[in-house]
Chains A and B, each alone.
Chain A
Amino acid sequence: ILNVEQSPQSLHVQEGDSTNFTCSFPSSNFYALHWYRWETAKSPEALFVMTLNGDEKKKGRISATLNTKEGYSYLYIKGSQPEDSATYLCAFNRPSNTGKLIFGQGTTLQVKP
């Protein structure tokens, strides 16, 4: 059984703070690492998909890095805004013809105005 671990479980920050979360995953037989953003009462939406060691992706104030050799990824949010409040999921998949993802439990971010 693959384990994808995310930390912290939850986070409360003030508007304007920068923050980061961690996702750890098995480093063997790696194919891709995904980050999803999941707002309350909505469905998860993909933020980033990363495949190469050293990958860095950026979308506005949100960025992510990937270390496949040691099995971790960081998600950074610069200058958090209330609209960033959501649960951030990471998911891992190995090479396969099924596309199955193993999800972590998520980090729930609350940004206070």
Chain B
Amino acid sequence: NAGVTQTPKFRVLKTGQSMTLLCAQDMNHEYMYWYRQDPGMGLRLIHYSVGEGTTAKGEVPDGYNVSRLKKQNFLLGLESAAPSQTSVYFCASSYPGTGLPYEQYFGPGTRLTVT
């Protein structure tokens, strides 16, 4: 049981390049989230998904797109990277079933630098 995994762990992009971050979970969770973490800003929600085939915008969605084609995977795309997107990206998942309400399980993070 790997929990929540993210690939890649590190990436350096040039301004204007595109990339996709992959999040995978093996806990059969319905809900998945993408956050970015910047110094002094805490965790901010970019996009989230409440089930396969559904996505929605979070607090800071501009410049990002997401897809949830399979329940276990949640992809975050940057179509044209900008230096302001330099950040650490965390994926999380949770399950709205019995037990703890909406406890989120986090992946290890992806450190992205845009030059």
Contact = CB atoms under 8 A, between A and B. Distances in A.
A89 B92 CA distance: 15
A45 interface: yes
Contact of B109 (A43, A93, A100, A104): A43
Interface stretch (B11-19, B65-73, B78-86, B93-101): B93-101
B60 interface: no
Interface string A3-45: 0000000000000000000000000000110100000001111
Contacts of B108: 42-43
Contacts, number: 60
A43 B41 contact: no
Contacts of A104: 42
A99 B43 contact: no
Interface string A76-110: 00000000000001000100011111011110000
A100 B42 contact: no
B104 A46 contact: yes
Nearest to A47: B103
B112 to A, nearest CB: 16
Interface in A34-64: 34, 42-46, 49, 51
A89 B104 contact: no
